[in-house]
Amino acid sequence: MRFGILAHNLGKTTTEELARRVGSYGLGFVQLALAKALTDIDSSLGRLSPGLANHVADIFARENVRISVLGCYINPIDPDPEQRRLGIARFKEHLRYARDFGASVVATETGTLRNYREVFPNHSEEAIWALLRSAVEEMAEEAERWGVTLGLEASGTEVIHTPEQMHRMLSEVRSANIGIVMDPVNLLNPGNIDNQHDVIRRSFELWGDRIVLTHVKDMDVTPDGKKQYVSLGKGRIDYPFFLRLLQEYKPFMNLSFEGGVEPAEIPDAIEFLKKASRSE
């Protein structure tokens, strides 16, 4: 296992300062969402170039940190058609220059249902699905063109929030350039946490061969039945079970700390995961 972090979890700052912060924790890679992480780089549409990408990558390399994944978290079902097209265009630009950053994956989630329902409350689930599928098809085609991977991440509030829905998208958009950003917490909620082994095992059975990155955090359920993030190892996620499956399907996988893991907790989180990976 190699450990990394969503770069903006360490704050939004200059490239040199952020690279220094990542390196100070001994982390080997970042998932870098340019717009969320860097104050000295203009990553708006049309601004990326090989030179800019090399500049950023070189700064991180000086701290022995690789940019393994670019994050470009757009809303591919944005109810505003103009904003939707802008987001997809930004994502495609990230795909074009990903290799210049040293990354082979550009990741996004699959669209916030609440925002869409506020504008179009009567649109069917299938209509929303078709909108997402159209965006995934377009982005996957661009990924194929540039030899990189579109990383899709499921989330409880997004269009894709179950293992079966992710499997359906992979079945309908048959591109070898679609990979999965696996986050077990994003697939679990107060209603299914007691069956987490079934949910996690099902995910690996359906698309374990397509995982390109794993996010790690932990969760618990409040007394009033709500999901909450807690320190890694203090919650309900059975990480020895999860890591055994991950090693079986995808050995040497990159593990990226996500929201819910505070910077001060990183050393303990690394030790927890190392211990969990050795558990029987």
Condensed to tens digits (0 to 9), the pLDDT of residues 36-52 reads 999 999 999 999 999 99
Identify the domain containing residue 60 by its residue range. Answer: 1-67
Share of the chain above pLDDT 70, in %: 100
In a domain, 248, yes or no: yes
The number of C-alpha atoms within 13 Å of 131 and in the hemisphere containing its C-beta is: 23
Give the pLDDT confidence score for residue 247 in this predicted structure.
Answer: 96
Does 162 fall in a domain? no
- Residue 280 pLDDT exceeds 70: no
Q: Confidence class of residue 259 from pLDDT cuts 50, 70 and 90? A: confident
C-alpha distance across the termini of the chain, in Å: 17
Is residue 208 assigned to a domain?
yes
State whether 33 and 8 are in the same domain.
Answer: yes
Q: What is the pLDDT of residues 48-70, one digit of tens each?
A: 999 999 999 999 999 999 999 99
For residues 11 and 89, state if they share a domain: no
With b for 16 or more beta-carbon neighbours within 10 A and e for fewer, the 203-232 pattern comes to bbebbbebbbbbbbbbbbbeeeeebeeebb
Question: What does the pLDDT look like over 178-209, one tens digit per residue?
Answer: 999 999 999 999 999 999 999 999 999 999 99
> What is the reported pTM?
0.96
If asked whether residues 38 and 16 sit together in one domain, one would say: yes
Answer yes or no: are the C-beta atoms of 219 and 237 closer than 8 Å.
Answer: yes
- Establish if 161 belongs to a structural domain: no
Residue 273 and residue 216 share a domain: yes
**One domain for residues 12 and 96:** no
Residues 80 and 93 in one domain: yes
- pLDDT single digits (tens) 75-115: 999 999 999 999 999 999 999 999 999 999 999 999 999 99
pLDDT at 178: 98
d(CA 224, CA 99): 46
- The pLDDT value recorded for residue 260 is 80
Q: Is the model's pLDDT at 128 over the cut of 60? A: yes
Whether 44 and 63 map to the same domain: the answer is: yes
Q: How many domains is the chain partitioned into structurally? A: 3
Closest CA to 102 of 25, 28, 179: 28
Identify the domain boundary among 33, 67, 101: 67
